[in-house]
Amino acid sequence: MDAGSYAGESAGIVMDYELPEYPGFHEGIRRAPRRESGLSAADKKLAVRNALRYIHPDHHKMMAEEFAEELETRGRIYGYRFRPPGRLWGRPVDEYRGKCVEGRAMQVMIDNNLDFDVALYPYELVTYGETGQVCQNWMQYRLIKKYLEQLSDEQTLVMMSGHPLGLFRSHKLAPRVITTNAMMVGMFDSNDSFNRAAAIGVANYGQMTAGGWMYIGPQGIVHGTFSTLLNAGRLKLGVPKDGNLAGKLFVSAGLGGMSGAQGKAAEIAGAVAIIAEVDISRIRTRFEQGWVSGIAETCEAAVDLALEKQAGKEPFAIAYHGNIVDLLEYLIENNIHADIMSDQTSCHVPYDGGYCPQGISFEERTRMLSGDKDSFRKLVDKSLRRHYECIVRLHERGVYFFDYGNSFLKAVYDAGVPSICKNGENDLDGFIFPSYVEDILGPQLFDFGYGPFRWCCLSGKPGDLDKTDMAALSCIDPDRRYQDRDNWVWVRDAKKNRLVVGTQCRILYQDAPGRLSIALKFNEMVRNGEIGPVMLGRDHHDTGGTDSPFRETSNIKDGSNIMADMAVQCFAGNCARGMSLVALHNGGGVGIGKAVNGGFGMVLDGSERVDTILRMAMPWDVMVGVARRSWACNPNAIEVAAEYNRLFGDTDHITLPYIVDDEAF
Ligand SMILES: NC(=O)c1ccc[n+]([C@@H]2O[C@H](COP(=O)([O-])OP(=O)(O)OC[C@H]3O[C@@H](n4cnc5c(N)ncnc54)[C@H](O)[C@@H]3O)[C@@H](O)[C@H]2O)c1
């Protein structure tokens, strides 16, 4: 083939021939630090060659230089030139072009994930979690949009690590998009290999909902964080089932993409919170959004304010501008009692900017990342060790500490602290502090099937969201279980709590029957013209979609938590049943090689076809997880699986375990 020919031209789905102007960068928008690449000279050439595949050969000479420069200065080729100028945001679905509603709906979700108000590093296509990207570069973004505009209801778009591989014929009940991110072959499934693959442009870290295009701002995590804190209070502090955390103090770190939910969740649960954050821009964002109520520049000011609010039992979230280790040292020195403690810095990538070491400012951290990586690593390790010592001291004084699914305990172990391991040597038997799933979310929610069900009103109308809130409320029986009562209260107060950032979306933890009945109800409302189309989904932090031994599956004790069969089955089953978008990722919130996780998106257009898919797919998506948890002999899951067999025995059946008495053999 000669240099000018291009197979894609015949299909008409190619990048525009003309190069767009190089866009400016808005002041004040956060930028990703330079990423590690460790590329050889040959790899660098390969990276540029790979990126040029999107570009017409007439421009290769010029673009090769531009891409090489980006690779050198940013560690990745983002193709900034191809970013559409100005702010991207999830517009009303009717404003997008497309041949089917799903194609237009996915464009809403993608643009919402890249909104300046929503994304962590919008120019680098990072939505949240320090490294979680929608796709790898802006050439892919443009091409994906073109494909989604062309997508018909008898085709499926295949996405591989952010690259749109192509449109393939399928059928009306098939997914419209199937996406995988960073699914590496086992022997290469490591951070080093991933960094190389990402730098040469063949791997994307999708986190969970970034690469699955279902991120809905920090609201997505608020409900889970709220449930975790409230149930921690019930389990560890003697808070009654109908009580809240009034007068209790929660201390943690991080006000970023997901961690930004901590203050809000604590306030909704009635607590006082101090959240340390080293980056003032993130504090300002959360303050302006009403997600923290006060800002303190010193530990003393933060603690004084917290004590005052605690005394008045007034829910109040304080952002402390500084390092979490400094704050914990202050608590120890001044004998301040916290009730619950956690951490939500990005410890899944501590050496890539996720964890800011004690003793340097956020700005110094960013400088060191692009220059002095070795010294930075040493500082991170030292700080994590000190951080751990503080937690041990506070734990001895009665504080309940849990790992918040950010690989904090693993990062401490990797920093050279084997005593954090249960067996004192390695992480094979887990850690001495629990993961929040092990103690709280697993037994109290996931084993029952309660998980992060969510929806987006694609019309963009707040009125549609109000109507869906009311409809969801009518589907919940608050007297069924205490979890239902919590969820009922949650959705009743959701509007008042001003949770929306970006598109008009809602999160509501629900179990399998709850998710199905709400989904069918919404589809009926779309059919009747009461609301516009709705995108359903969840994050991957759920009962069924994720195998993650340090997090989602940390309360599975039959040894199967090192297996990833469930996540893959969940993904495959959702494809088979026709969810609109189905995703499978490596890494998720805990880092490459540490989890396999999958998600879905389902567009409700009011049709009977969607009702049919919902009836098959919604229970499956949840019950695969309950069934697996039941087989692991988790008591609540066994109960739920047995009830499911009783109710749905004509079509479904879950294999139940005989209970084994350890004394009997
Ligand atoms: N528990 C969950 O349900 C859940 C869900 C998603 C993500 N996560 C994990 O939680 C972590 C945070 O996610 P995110 O999206 O908020 O990431 P993020 O990178 O957007 O935010 C982390 C924040 O921590 C701050 N920080 C880093 N080191 C600090 C220090 N020493 N002291 C004070 N502040 C510090 C950073 O400045 C940043 O703002 C990630 O590891 C992510 O994978 C957890």
* pLDDT, tens digit (0-9, with 9 covering 90-100), for 244-288: 999 999 999 999 988 999 999 999 999 999 999 999 999 999 999
pLDDT tens-digit profile of 292-340? Answer: 999 999 999 999 999 999 999 999 999 999 999 999 999 999 999 999 9
Q: Which of 513, 434, 437 is nearest to 481 (CA)?
A: 513
Read off the pLDDT of each residue in 83-103 and give the average, rounded to a whole number. Answer: 97
> Is 143's pLDDT higher than 90?
yes
Q: Is the Cβ atom of 324 under 6 angstroms away from ligand 1?
A: yes
pLDDT of residue 11: 52
Read off the pLDDT of each residue in 94-110 and give the average, rounded to a whole number. Answer: 98
Distance CA 75, CA 79 (A): 12
Q: Is the Cβ atom of 156 under 6 angstroms away from ligand 1?
A: no
Q: Is the Cβ atom of 224 under 6 angstroms away from ligand 1?
A: yes
Least confident of 425-429, 487-491, 529-533, 622-626: 425-429
pLDDT of residue 3: 47
pLDDT of residue 12: 79
Q: Is the Cβ atom of 286 under 6 angstroms away from ligand 1?
A: no
Q: What is the H or E stretch that residue 584 is in?
A: strand 581-586
pLDDT of residue 596: 97
pLDDT bin (cut points 50, 70, 90) of residue 550 is: confident
User: pLDDT averaged over the chain?
Assistant: 95
pLDDT of residue 589: 82
pLDDT tens-digit profile of 182-200? Answer: 999 999 999 999 999 999 9
Distance CA 52, CA 49 (A): 5
Q: Is the Cβ atom of 33 under 6 angstroms away from ligand 1?
A: no
Read off the pLDDT of each residue in 98-112 and give the average, rounded to a whole number. Answer: 98
Contact by Cβ (8 Å): 181, 596? no
What share of the chain has pLDDT > 70, as a percent? 98
pLDDT bin (cut points 50, 70, 90) of residue 78 is: very high
Read off the pLDDT of each residue in 638-644 and give the average, rounded to a whole number. Answer: 98
Task: Report how far ligand 1's centroid is from the alpha carbon of 218 (Å).
Answer: 11
pLDDT of residue 289: 87
Task: Report how far ligand 1's centroid is from the alpha carbon of 258 (Å).
Answer: 7
- Name the closest-CA residue to atom 43, ligand 1: 589
Task: Report how far ligand 1's centroid is from the alpha carbon of 513 (Å).
Answer: 32
Q: Is the Cβ atom of 221 under 6 angstroms away from ligand 1?
A: yes
**What's the one-letter identity of residue 136?**
Q
Tokens for 125, please give them: 């296509």
DSSP reduced 3-state for 152: coil
Distance CA 368, CA 284 (A): 24
Contact by Cβ (8 Å): 316, 249? no
pLDDT tens-digit profile of 578-619? Answer: 999 999 999 988 899 999 999 999 999 999 999 999 999 999
Q: Is the Cβ atom of 98 under 6 angstroms away from ligand 1?
A: no
The pTM of the full predicted model, rounded to 2 decimals, is 0.89
Which atom of ligand 1 lies nearest, measured to the CA of 259? 16
pLDDT of residue 363: 94
DSSP label at 549?
Answer: T
pLDDT of residue 5: 52
Helices (H), 237-353: 261-268, 280-288, 299-311, 324-333
Helices (H), 118-202: 138-150, 191-199
Task: Report how far ligand 1's centroid is from the alpha carbon of 129 (Å).
Answer: 6
